[in-house]
Structure 1
């Protein structure tokens, strides 16, 4: 079977051979074409003109190349321009600092922060001192601030303090006596003398003291906190009377008096005392001639509720760290120290964070403190008062203060006032906040934040609930 099978052979398809396609090159030019010679371009005709001899050299037209060179020489390079701008910025004089002529409210009557004193703050000043004062009504807080603010010596300071309680006399004229009034108007000088005006401003007391009208009606004089900046960059803060019944009467003008009114006033006073503890280098606690136990207890409560003693509320942003304000216990109208007052102060502030040993002493213990201070009073020494602490005594100004023959047992009021000012201004100026190199404007912004944190602090609200 296999042999019978024959292989079928299919005829191969005839493939026609393709001829290669040869492309004609463009390089080969046909012989028939004749190259056309380009015609010669016609050159432009140039007309030469002779220079005019009468034309000056400056009026001749300059070439564009020369103009570009002159423009490059006339305009300074960008680097030189930037250097000149930097020099102008550096050499720009700073605006003159405004001098404060009268106190400005730091906290107004409604205990709201007042930013009006920011323009008097120096942003470049770091060596400043903040002094605050607290006390009850009528103890002489404004007088103490006026004594510290006196940058120039004043001989009749005692007489001026005595005259500050008197009301200014009002001139009375009769209606029929017109000629006398006309003569007086003619003799008056309406031209202001700047020297006399400056002299009167420097000599007068900056803080207003209570007069006989305030004493008779029982109304406190200072409202809120008054701030004054001296030329020596000493910031003085005069606080209103704390825990005074007149505060309740003043609050009755807006809100009716209830059983809770006394508690509200107490909490407001605690907030003011705590606020001054947090923003001052030196805090002066002024009392009368006797030892006021209630006032000391309020100071302890204000320190306990203060924000800075707990390292700041909600973090360390407002914390004070190891910095603590100096506390000066001052007794006004007191010739001799109250009996056992030093021992009572040591026990009361035994666990306090306030600094009571800062060198503001009436006497010194050379063996312990190493500070030689002459005793201001014979009753103040190591035997009677023990180891010294920050306590100062100011005597009462009597009508016969000019009589030097009377033995009073202490130096004159002028001598003690100068010593008080030198003692307060010479204290160590610690850092108020954890921010290094805090300027006056930085301190002012810190005052705003500190007051907001104290007003929002819940510890004062909880303390009010436990008051009777």
Structure 2
């Protein structure tokens, strides 16, 4: 008997760990990432669960058959620059076991060949659904030279229309794309994992501050069905009042050197993160200040900061060492990934304004995407960037 009293609820669709047509024998597993990448290159596009296409349109037809009327689901998205381990983190959350014969990771991971060719694995947004009904969204890399190279015309203009009715240079469109991806994930996810490279890279922090600045006025997916706007002229009809929705962020810094992963450095980064986002919507605490003494030890502060549910979540992931490495490590690479997975699976992110099913979430997310591409706030920001030339140049 279902929770609503109905009998014999339809079973959840099965999500294949390996894509159709590739489970042949265990020999494919022994080649590592390079052979897995070669296998993925043989896939037909119909096997992909690509949510955001290479034409910058949200397409729901491929993912919709895998979703149900279940309302108990969690959406987790990841965003970050190239090669920082976004797909690896999602594979860990999914709980994939690529060591089993004939099985592949749900999200493709960069091989040495792809790195050497300066290419990227993920185009648009790739999606998967775990057995726990966690909808995972893996986005294409932001600030990516390979993404820019694929969208630039000989005259420098963009092949993609990222702002409706606007013709932009490829470099400006590339910057706006990163912002739009961030706004989308902050609007339709329960949890957004923000991945940075090393301890000194603050570019993702700045991107998320821009997302927070421009997201206002974009509703969560449960509100869209009540407004049904058809164009940018209907933005004033979106639901008003109450707190605006924004996903809970988890900040992850990867490729950290062993000597940089210490309680003292973690405490410094945690304080810097809190200061950077202290006036943002991502920090939901009431700005409470604990009366911590300066004499408090770094190790004690480290534990207190890890356990605080009101603070922004921060994880430091060491560089992946060789299996035969005998060097002492403060924390292993896999242990750090397990901690991130445990955090995501155990946390209670914000709820949407109204109860919504998986299928309605997807349909309304497509409308959210149209809001973002037609947003006058994002459009005005784009115009400011264009006139001031304050955007990334290749």
What residue ranges of structure 1 are gaps of 5+ in the alignment?
1-89, 161-195, 358-364, 369-377
Offset at residue 217 of structure 1 (A): 2.0
Q: Residue 295 of structure 1 is aligned with which of 193, 197, 204?
A: 204
Q: Secondary structure at the match of 1:332?
A: strand
Taking structure 2 as the reference length, the TM-score comes to 0.70
Equivalent position of 1:117 in the other structure: 63
Find the counterpart in structure 2 of residue 431 from structure 1. 351
Where does residue 137 of structure 1 map in the other structure?
Answer: 82
Q: 2: CA distance between counterparts of 1:340 and 1:385?
A: 13
Superposition pairs for residues 335-346 of structure 1, below 5 Å?
335=258, 336=261, 337=265, 340-346=268-274
Give the Cα separation in 1 of the matches to 2:75 and 2:369. Answer: 16
Note if 1:460 corresponds to 2:359: no
Residue 348 of structure 1 pairs with residue 276 of structure 2: yes
Q: Decide whether aligned partners of structure 1 residues 256 and 128 sit closer, same or farther in structure 2, where only a CA change above 3 A counts.
A: same
Which residue in the other structure is 2:163 paired with?
Answer: none
The alpha-carbon deviation at position 200 of structure 1 amounts to 3.0
- Could you say if the C-alpha distance between residues 384 and 127 of structure 1 is closer, same or farther in structure 2, counting changes exceeding 3 Å? closer
> Is residue 52–residue 126 contact of structure 2 (8 Å, CA) maintained in 1?
yes
How far is the alpha carbon of 1:316 from its aligned partner?
3.5
- Say if 2:219 and 2:239, in contact at 8 Å, map to a contact too: no
Q: Which residue in 2 is equivalent to 1:399?
A: 322
Once the two structures are TM-superposed, the CA of residue 345 in structure 1 deviates from its matched residue by 1.1
Distance in structure 1 (CA, Å) of the matches to 2:299 and 2:198: 15
| Deviations, residues 214-258 of structure 1 (Å, cap 9, x unaligned) | 2112222211001100111011000111122222210126x6424
Q: 3-state DSSP class of the match of 1:397?
A: coil
- Taking only aligned residues, the RMSD between alpha carbons, in angstroms, comes to 3.2
CA distance, structure 2, for counterparts of residue 417 and residue 271 of structure 1:
27
In 1, the alpha carbon distance for the partners of 2:83 and 2:346 equals 27
1:283–1:327 Cα contact (<8 Å) kept: yes
Report what 2:360 is aligned to: 442
Tell me the residue number matched to 2:29: none
1:348-404 CA distances to partner (integer Å, 9 max, x unpaired)? 1011111467xxxxxxx9999xxxxxxxxx97641799785310122222114564x
Asked whether the 8 Å contact 1:139–1:288 carries over to 2, the reply is yes
Q: What's the counterpart of residue 14 of structure 2? A: 99
More helix per residue: 1 or 2? 2
* Distance of 1:333 and 1:352 partners within structure 2: 27
3-state SS of paired residue (2:123): coil
Cα distance in 1 between the residues matched to 2:335 and 2:302: 24
Cα deviations by residue, 1:286-333 (Å, 9 ceiling, x for unpaired): 011223223211211122111446899323449883543111110112
Alignment partner of 2:102: what SS?
A: helix
Separation of aligned partners in 2, 1:281 and 1:320: 18
Are the aligned partners of 1:222 and 1:240 in contact in 2 as well (CA < 8 Å)? yes
In structure 2, what is the equivalent of residue 176 of structure 1? none
> SS of the counterpart of 2:122?
coil
> Which of 204, 222, 245 is the aligned partner of 2:122?
222
Q: How does 1:177-188 map to 2 (within 5 A)?
A: none
1:5-404 mapped onto 2 (5 Å cutoff):
95-101=10-16, 102=19, 104-115=49-60, 116-123=62-69, 125-150=70-95, 200-201=102-103, 204-252=104-152, 256-258=155-157, 260-308=169-217, 313-317=235-239, 321-334=243-256, 335=258, 336=261, 337=265, 340-355=268-283, 381-382=300-301, 389=311, 390-400=313-323, 403=326
* Cα separation, 1, equivalents of 2:329 and 2:205: 29
Q: Cα gap change, 1:320/1:401 in structure 2, threshold over 3 Å: closer, same or farther? A: farther
Q: Distance in 2 between matches of 1:284 and 1:117?
A: 21
- Asked if the contact 1:325–1:355 (Cα under 8 Å) also holds between the matched residues in 2, the reply is no
Task: For 1:149 and 1:386, locate their aligned partners in 2 and report how far apart those are by CA, in whole Å.
Answer: 26
Structure 1 CA distance for aligned equivalents of residues 74 and 191 of structure 2: 8
Instruction: Tell me which of the two structures has the higher relative contact order, counting C-alpha pairs closer than 8 angstroms and 6 or more residues apart.
Output: 2
